[in-house]
């Protein structure tokens, strides 16, 4: 069985590469997904009252499920995150079409 420590070490190794490749990014995504699935703690979703936000603030992500991914994207511009996710989805369809289809159904 993969331990949380094993996943954290694998994640650190991937994140520590100076010139990551597409393969490195796919591994990193898989490690984060496994960590989140196997070792996620109770999630706390934040609600946002968008009625009081101006247009500029709406371009920022306000989401924190407690996962490492949500912590990294929370407070960032949507325009900065979408291209990264688009590249990841392009790689995912080539590597694992079934998982890609599953993600697309959820979206």
Concatenated DSSP letters of 41-84: ----PPP--GGG--HHHHTB-----SSHHHHHHTTSBHHHHHHH
Residue whose C-alpha is closest to residue 61's, from 73, 48, 51? 73
For the record, the structure tokens of 11 come out as 């994640």
Angstrom distance (rounded) from CA 18 to CA 1: 29
Asked whether the beta carbons of 77 and 45 are under 8 A apart, the reply is: no
**For residue range 25-44, what is the model confidence (pLDDT) as tens digits?**
888 888 888 887 777 653 44
**pTM score of the predicted model:** 0.45
pLDDT level of residue 105 (50, 70, 90 thresholds): very high
């Amino acid at each position: 069985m993969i331990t949380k420590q094993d996943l954290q070490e694998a994640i650190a190794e991937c994140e520590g590469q100076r010139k990551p490749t597409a393969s490195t990014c796919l591994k990193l995504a898989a490690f984060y997904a496994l960590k989140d699935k196997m070792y996620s703690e109770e999630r706390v979703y934040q609600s946002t009252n968008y009625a009081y936000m101006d247009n500029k603030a709406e371009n920022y992500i306000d989401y924190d499920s407690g996962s490492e991914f949500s912590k990294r994207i929370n407070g960032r511009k949507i325009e900065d995150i979408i291209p990264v996710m688009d590249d990841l989805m392009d790689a995912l369809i080539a590597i694992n079409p079934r998982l890609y289809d599953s993600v697309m159904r959820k979206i």
